[in-house]
Amino acid sequence: MGSESRDYDIIVAGGGLAGMIVASSASYYSKQSLKILVVDRNPSPQLGKKTISGWVCGDAVGKNSVDYMTSRIGIKWQNPEIEHPVKGVIAFSPDHETSISFDGEGYILNRKVLPQKQLNDALNVGIEIKYNLALRNVITDANKVIGVEGEDLETKSAFKKTCKIVVDCTGVTSVLRTNLPIKSHVQRKINRDDLEATGRYIYNFDSEAEDKTYFDPDYCIIHLDQNIAPGGYAWVFPKGKNKVNVGLGVQQKAMEEHNKKQGQRKDLKTKIDEYVKMNPVIKNPQIADGESDDGNGWGTWQVSVRRQNDCLVASGYMLVGDSAWMPKPLDAGGIGPAIIAATIAGKDAVQSIQANDNSEQSLWQYNLDFVEAYGYKTAGLEVFRRLLQKLTNDQINYGMKHFLSKLDIDNITDGEHPEFGMVDKFNMFIHGALNKGLSEDLKHTAEVNKKLVNHYQNYPTNPNDFPEWQNKLTKFMSDAFTKLGCA
Ligand SMILES: Cc1cc2nc3c(=O)[nH]c(=O)nc-3n(C[C@H](O)[C@H](O)[C@H](O)COP(=O)(O)OP(=O)(O)OC[C@H]3O[C@@H](n4cnc5c(N)ncnc54)[C@H](O)[C@@H]3O)c2cc1C
């Protein structure tokens, strides 16, 4: 089929946070000259809903990511989609003796309201949206993606549309990626240990006590504690003076080991309920059920915490957001990278269409642009995350107290890997074999990170060189995991 006779130029699969930005970005860069369709399985008032239990998210995003989008494609977010501003993030050690403040303005979004604002923006520039359509697969021709197919959930009829480029924004469980039927470098499946099981409440509450280690209206609070959140972390993000997004993420494997050690069988919801109960500030919590929260007060979902898919494109196909495993491996923050990737993907899709070439080679530029803007650092952070997941609470207490310099904190604030320069200075004073081992491991993650960043700076400029590059990457990663004892 000639690409001139396709139904659309671009079909964005999934009208969630990433999908709506891709569509707006492509419209912006093409000066509204392309035919763009967004397809989502939800009805219009529920656009962006990830699961039956809601728009499940911690809702926090750094201002710098939003600014990235605004300055490039002119999309502005304000109240009510931005529900509450924050000044930064404070992470507490398990013993609460050390708190590390990562300053930097941010926003707590309303994820139910935001898609409606995104929808208005899209309709205003002539983007077409189709609802109630569950996509099942891409349509292909001669090893090229040329459209999508699925089911109309209202009429139970088949849905099929063709296009020049499909941008897959259907989230972490993407069936389009998992079933991609053409030969390509895209990785289809994720390792179970690279997924976090996460859940959260949105509560209104009466605040009886003041304790800024448990709730601070100006800061997102993170509690690191392997008993509360095995292999993950717990959070208390303010949505107002008496409103909170509170939850936790765990690694399933770490949770199972923890349960076994404790001789118990607690599930994620029980752990979250216990976490809320121990909070001395959140009293009389009531699930938020006003119009902007109704149906979104409680939910669980998964987040990936690996580096992004090693390859983000195939012929006629691009991956953006959670479908590409973009959340940051260290904190599962996926909104920032989704915003950045979606802004870039819109631009690169338009360039390919204008060049009348939607081949893998032509779309490859998106791999390069995302790696340059964000993706260069994620493999190093994946190694660091694996190390953190195996630490005991005592090691986390000790490490947070002694091993993080101001420079390291600035690096983490900027989303970069810490250098752990303190470890050398402090070396002779380190107490205990375990802590000495930890200091060596931390130093090693910093060294591996430098190699990995350098490797990503040499990301192949064409698909033919990719296999060799990927083999090297896999070797770097597996050597690091073996050395750190977390293979
Ligand atoms: C509990 C939790 C807490 C989190 N906290 C934070 C946080 O505080 N900060 C942060 O930055 N990130 C956080 N994240 C991650 C963040 O929510 C995601 O990175 C972000 O939502 C990704 O957006 P997306 O558009 O790629 O995917 P999604 O938001 O998952 O959107 C996918 C869209 O595609 C649609 N769709 C899916 N399948 C199909 C199909 N087959 N056919 C048609 N449509 C389909 C869905 O209905 C949905 O509208 C959290 C995640 C969870 C689960």
The string of pLDDT tens digits covering residues 417-437 is: 888 877 766 666 667 777 778
pLDDT value of residue 429: 66
Q: Which residues of 46-71 are buried (b: 16+ CB within 10 A; e: fewer)?
A: bbbbbeeebbbbbbbbbbebbebbee
State whether the beta carbon of 135 lies less than 6 angstroms from ligand 1.
yes
State whether the beta carbon of 57 lies less than 6 angstroms from ligand 1.
yes
What is the 144 CA–ligand 1 centroid distance (Å)? Answer: 27
CB 164, CB 353: distance < 8 Å:
yes
What is the 355 CA–ligand 1 centroid distance (Å)? Answer: 31
Burial class (CB in 10 A: 0-12, 13-18, 19+), 261: exposed
State whether the beta carbon of 15 lies less than 6 angstroms from ligand 1.
yes
Read off the pLDDT band of 293 (50, 70, 90).
very high
State whether the beta carbon of 168 lies less than 6 angstroms from ligand 1.
no
Residue identifier of the C-alpha nearest atom 29 of ligand 1: 16
HSE (side-chain half, CA atoms, 13 Å) at 44: 8
179-227: pLDDT as tens digits: 999 999 999 999 999 999 999 999 999 987 899 999 999 999 999 999 9
| Atom of ligand 1 lying closest to residue 59 CA | 8
pLDDT value of residue 269: 97
State whether the beta carbon of 18 lies less than 6 angstroms from ligand 1.
yes
**What kind of architecture, by CATH, is found in domain 192-303?**
2-Layer Sandwich (3.30)
**How many angstroms separate the CA atoms of 86 and 321, rounded?**
24
Question: What DSSP character marks residue 281?
Answer: S
280-289: pLDDT as tens digits: 999 999 999 9
Residue identifier of the C-alpha nearest atom 19 of ligand 1: 334
| Atom of ligand 1 lying closest to residue 335 CA | 11
| Atom of ligand 1 lying closest to residue 235 CA | 8
| Atom of ligand 1 lying closest to residue 300 CA | 1
Average pLDDT over residues 77-106: 94
CB 276, CB 246: distance < 8 Å:
yes
Question: Given a cut of 60, is residue 1 above it in pLDDT?
Answer: no
Residue identifier of the C-alpha nearest atom 41 of ligand 1: 135
What is the 17 CA–ligand 1 centroid distance (Å)? Answer: 7
Residues 6+ apart with CB under 8 A from 209: 280, 281, 283
What is the 186 CA–ligand 1 centroid distance (Å)? Answer: 20
Residue identifier of the C-alpha nearest atom 37 of ligand 1: 170
The H-or-E segment that residue 83 falls in is: strand 82-92
State whether the beta carbon of 46 lies less than 6 angstroms from ligand 1.
no
What is the 429 CA–ligand 1 centroid distance (Å)? Answer: 45
Question: Given a cut of 80, is residue 41 above it in pLDDT?
Answer: yes
Kindly state which CATH superfamily the domain 3-57+111-190+306-373 is placed in. Answer: FAD/NAD(P)-binding domain (3.50.50.60)
Q: Where would I find the H helices in 263-314?
A: 268-277
Q: Kindly report the pTM of this predicted structure.
A: 0.96
Residue identifier of the C-alpha nearest atom 53 of ligand 1: 301
Read off the pLDDT band of 2 (50, 70, 90).
low
State whether the beta carbon of 171 lies less than 6 angstroms from ligand 1.
yes
What is the 71 CA–ligand 1 centroid distance (Å)? Answer: 23
Instruction: Supply the mean pLDDT for the chain.
Output: 94
Would you list the DSSP string of 341-393?
HHHHHHHHHHHHHHTT--SHHHHHHHHHHHHHHTGGGHHHHHHHHHHHHT--H
How many residues appear in the chain?
487
- Where along the chain do its domains lie? 3-57+111-190+306-373, 192-303, 377-484
346-390: pLDDT as tens digits: 999 999 999 999 999 999 999 999 999 999 999 999 999 999 999
